[in-house]
């Protein structure tokens, strides 16, 4: 059996994920693995059409395909995202049609489910036979239990291919919005003149997105500075070297415009309006490149107390996974997100009003100094990063460790001595049936709300 491994790690053969993928078939001499380092070779694949076509032809001749990649900022690395875009742009979807496939990804389990959802949808769009995914912690292969799990998954995938297992399609095809947006000249405007307001867009070739951007600029009285990412000198995507982990110094420093742009424009802004076009099941690879390259700040938030919004051209409502990744990103960054507007409306007037409303909401949030929303998306992120930076990642991410200490993010509840003593005493008392019955029947709910009622009824608070 010939299996094509599409290696989405910019580290090529030095990818931890790839080692897991290889290990899956270590004891299967009948399996021939063919590794395609598409992320590492993305520039050649873009420029050399013949090489791209030969690569896709070779992949098409394999019996099965495995997508192997690390999780970079909620989903796949920008280089793999660009490869996927080129498959669709150059009409090579047929290379993957009806191929059995699975995903192998590694991370610290930070939003790996979003990466899985994205790639599962891509496989469905390519009409592949998607079997399952294997998401490993980057240290799993060093443990016996982890190795056993990887081998078991590999055996299961081989059986699915050999037995021609019936697979499920989990995502419906996307339908692009059909609104021909023609903006009106609105009398109402929202001035951001006293704010450092920035509008960042991936490109303006999409005429619908350009019209939406122009309308937002008109509504704001052209008080937004506009930055077009496609016009910036960005030499490449993040390569995962984690040199930035020591003191936020990226290996691209002094080699392109991205770091200066981010430090001066993004960090210096009070209000940021992001704009982009959906390509396949995500934003463009240019936006993914932006998100990945911003990781030179590692796991330390850099958008704290800023106010943001997003305008999108494309079927956002049909891709809840994309919306969740964006919401999670903004919550992690501790900035207030005023929402999203896409071109999924019946009339241009409706879209005009939505854009006007978004601009009003951003300004109102900024003037009110609203804090970032906190849900499971941010709370779980905080706890995961807190534990990792305190533990295994303390050495490589020294900058994060110092920042987390300064920001008092090492808030381990286990260190609260008063809470530990109280819980110990109450746990012993709860072993007495009468006490336990009294507490659950008459005491628990009143006790839970007592302090809150006291605050509500206090005229001084």
Distance separating alpha carbons of residues 93 and 53, to the nearest angstrom: 12
Q: Is-contact 54 1, C-beta < 8 A?
A: no
Instruction: Kindly state the tokens that stand for 402.
Output: 């110092």
* Torsion, Cα of 136, 241, 121, 316 (10° steps): 130
**Average pLDDT taken over every residue of the chain:** 95
pLDDT, position 461: 86
Q: What is the pLDDT of residue 189?
A: 87
Residues of the chain scoring pLDDT < 70:
none
In whole angstroms, what is the distance from residue 72 CA to residue 78 CA?
Answer: 8
SS3 per residue for 20-58: HHHHCCCCCCCCEEEEECCCCCHHHHHHCHHHHHHHHHH
> What is the pLDDT at residue 406?
94
Instruction: Look at domain 197-376 and name its CATH class.
Output: alpha beta
Q: Is 166 exposed, middle or buried (0-12, 13-18, 19+ CB in 10 A)?
A: exposed
- Which of 133, 99, 100 has its CA nearest to residue 115? 133
The predicted structure's pLDDT at residue 382: 94
* pLDDT of amino acid 187: 86
DSSP state, 280? T
Q: Determine the pLDDT at residue 188.
A: 83
Decide which of 3.40.50.970, 3.40.50.360, 3.40.630.30, 3.30.70.2340 is the CATH code for 2-162: 3.40.50.360
- pTM for the model stands at 0.94
Distance of alpha carbon 443 from alpha carbon 449, whole angstroms: 11
Q: In this structure, are strands 129-137 and 197-201 parallel, antiparallel, or unpaired?
A: unpaired
DSSP conformation class of 203: -
pLDDT of residue 123: 98
DSSP state of 75: B
What is the predicted pLDDT for the residue at 213?
97
């Amino acid at each position: 059996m010939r299996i094509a491994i599409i290696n989405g790690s910019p580290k090529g053969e030095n990818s931890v994920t790839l080692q897991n993928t290889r290990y899956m078939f270590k004891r299967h001499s009948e399996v021939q693995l063919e590794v395609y380092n598409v992320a590492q070779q993305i520039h050649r694949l873009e420029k050399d059409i013949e090489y791209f076509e030969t690569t896709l032809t070779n992949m098409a001749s394999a019996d099965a395909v495995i997508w192997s990649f690390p999780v970079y900022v909620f989903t796949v690395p920008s280089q793999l995202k660009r490869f996927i875009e080129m498959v669709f742009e150059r009409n090579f979807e047929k290379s993957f049609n009806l191929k059995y496939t699975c995903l192998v990804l590694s991370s610290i389990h930070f939003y790996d489910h979003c990466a899985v959802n994205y790639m599962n949808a891509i496989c469905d769009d390519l009409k592949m036979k998607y079997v399952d995914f294997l998401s490993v912690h980057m240290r799993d292969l060093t443990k016996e239990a982890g190795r056993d799990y990887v081998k078991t998954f590999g055996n299961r995938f081989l059986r699915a291919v050999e037995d021609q297992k019936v697979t499920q399609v989990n995502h419906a095809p996307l339908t692009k919005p059909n609104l021909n947006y023609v903006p009106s000249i609105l009398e109402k405007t929202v001035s951001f003149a006293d704010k450092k307001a920035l509008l960042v867009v991936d490109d303006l070739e999409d005429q619908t997105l350009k019209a939406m951007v122009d309308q937002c600029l008109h509504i704001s009285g052209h008080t937004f500075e506009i930055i077009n990412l496609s016009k910036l000198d960005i030499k490449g995507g993040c390569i995962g070297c984690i040199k930035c982990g020591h003191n936020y110094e990226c290996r691209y420093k002094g080699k392109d415009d991205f770091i200066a742009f981010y430090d001066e424009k993004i960090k210096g802004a009070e209000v940021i309006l992001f704009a982009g076009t959906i390509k396949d099941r995500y934003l463009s690879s240019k936006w993914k490149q932006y998100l990945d390259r911003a990781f030179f700040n590692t796991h330390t938030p850099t958008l704290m107390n800023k106010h943001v919004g997003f305008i999108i051209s494309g079927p956002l409502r049909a891709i809840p996974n994309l919306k969740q990744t964006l919401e999670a990103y903004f919550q992690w960054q501790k900035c207030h997100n005023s929402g999203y507007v896409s071109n999924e409306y019946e009339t241009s007037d409706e879209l005009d009003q939505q854009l006007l409303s978004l601009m009003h909401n951003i300004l109102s949030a900024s003037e009110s100094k609203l804090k970032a929303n906190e849900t499971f998306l941010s709370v779980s992120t905080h706890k995961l990063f807190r534990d990792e930076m305190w533990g295994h990642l303390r050495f490589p991410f020294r900058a994060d460790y110092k920042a987390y200490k300064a920001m008092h993010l090492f808030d381990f509840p286990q260190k609260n001595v008063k809470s530990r003593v109280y819980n110990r005493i109450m746990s012993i008392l709860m072993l007495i049936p009468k006490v336990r019955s009294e507490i659950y029947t008459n005491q628990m709910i009143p006790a839970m709300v007592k302090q809150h009622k006291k605050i509500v009824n206090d005229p001084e608070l």
